[in-house]
């Protein structure tokens, strides 16, 4: 059996976990029509979602789906995350 290589910290999608907030992986996965296991792989950086799945996750969590494909540029990601965190905070206060 092939042993999975654990992603490095740089590959981890900490931003996705931050956006998910208090919701469980299972809750987000159910909203997106995917398994919790697959969502976990996406969140930990072991898998990159297909465009349609990225759009579903982004829609469920309220961010721009292209963030999944901008990860190579840490500077762009950091800049994008500031806006995303502001959006999430605004949405949380409106609940």
pLDDT tens-digit profile of 45-80?
Answer: 888 899 999 999 999 999 999 888 775 544 455 555
User: Residue 87 — very low, low, confident or very high, per pLDDT cuts 50/70/90?
Assistant: low
5-27 pLDDT, tens per residue? 544 444 568 889 999 999 999 99
Distances (CA, A) of 32 to 3, 89, 95: 28, 21, 20
Its pTM surpasses 0.85: no
Give 31 or 72, the one with higher predicted confidence.
Answer: 31
């Amino acid at each position: 059996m092939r042993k999975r290589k654990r992603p490095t910290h740089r590959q981890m999608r900490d931003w996705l976990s931050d956006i998910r907030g208090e919701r469980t992986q299972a809750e987000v996965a159910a909203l997106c029509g995917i398994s919790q296991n697959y969502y976990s792989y996406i969140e930990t950086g072991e898998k990159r979602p297909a465009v349609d799945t990225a759009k579903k996750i982004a829609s469920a969590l309220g961010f721009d789906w292209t963030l999944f494909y901008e990860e190579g540029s840490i500077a762009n990601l950091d800049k994008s995350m500031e806006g995303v965190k502001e959006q999430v905070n605004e949405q949380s206060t409106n609940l």
